[in-house]
Structure 1
């Protein structure tokens, strides 16, 4: 039974580390795109997805946009982005930022480095606090046995 109090928190800490990695990678990807060239893109499609709603859980809706643009070397690139502005509709022309070596990881979100840093920092603080709480629980448990 004691092993249970070490294995489950260890698995949860591993999942927190995966989450931290995902948050940092996303921030780096967006920042890299903002540092690259821009192109004129067109919104090809706009759609929403929903999740939740079973039982007592609330429904969450995510807005998606599909954009297409042409890189400076003439390559046509299409990408999908979540949580874009609701004011961009199908057929709209928008500015796209992309990294020249990875244009498929482009973004149509306007550069907002402060907001990106704040959001990334808050996510990392939450995940770090959760992991610290798990470690504290494991230490406290080991002292009692």
Structure 2
């Protein structure tokens, strides 16, 4: 029974750690694309939405765009990006930023370094709070089990 109070928080810490890694990797990719100076004209091939939640929970809808562009070397690249503006529709031309050795990690988002840093920072603080809660929970559980062992005959 005691293991439950350690295993579940450790699993949550692992998932949150993976989420933090993913957020940092995407922020690095977007920043690298903006800093590379390489741009291309891309066509929006498709837009679609995904939803999560429902039932008695809040429904969250995410807008996706699928873009296709050709690099300077002539390689045709197609990528999917979330969170783009709702004003871009199928057939629109947009400017994408990419890194020459990883064009599939391109972005159609206009450079906004402060917004990227603030969003990444807020998510990392949120993840850190979850990790601190899990560690605190495990510490309290450990103290309670020690106290219960001391009271047992």
Give the TM-score of the pair, scaled to structure 1.
0.94
Between the aligned partners of 1:132 and 1:52, the Cα distance in structure 2 is: 26
Between the aligned partners of 1:125 and 1:50, the Cα distance in structure 2 is: 25
Between the aligned partners of 1:79 and 1:119, the Cα distance in structure 2 is: 22
CA separation of 1:56/1:143 partners in 2, compared to 1, >3 Å: closer, same or farther? same
Residue number in structure 2 paired with 1:66: 66
Residues 26-37 of structure 1: matches in 2 within 5 Å? 26-36=26-36, 37=38
Residues 86-105 of structure 1: matches in 2 within 5 Å? 86-105=86-105
Q: CA deviation at 1:59?
A: 2.1
Q: CA deviation at 1:78?
A: 1.1
State which structure, 1 or 2, has the greater radius of gyration over its C-alpha atoms: 2
Structure 2 regions of 5+ residues with no counterpart?
Answer: 147-153
Between the aligned partners of 1:139 and 1:60, the Cα distance in structure 2 is: 34
- Answer with 26-35 or 118-127: which moved more: 26-35
Paired residue secondary structure (2:139): helix
Which 4+ runs in 1 deviate beyond 3 A?
A: none
Residue number in structure 2 paired with 1:43: 44
Residues 73-84 of structure 1: matches in 2 within 5 Å? 73-84=73-84
Q: How many residue pairs align between the two structures? A: 144
Between the aligned partners of 2:42 and 2:99, the Cα distance in structure 1 is: 14
Structure 1 regions of 5+ residues with no counterpart?
Answer: none
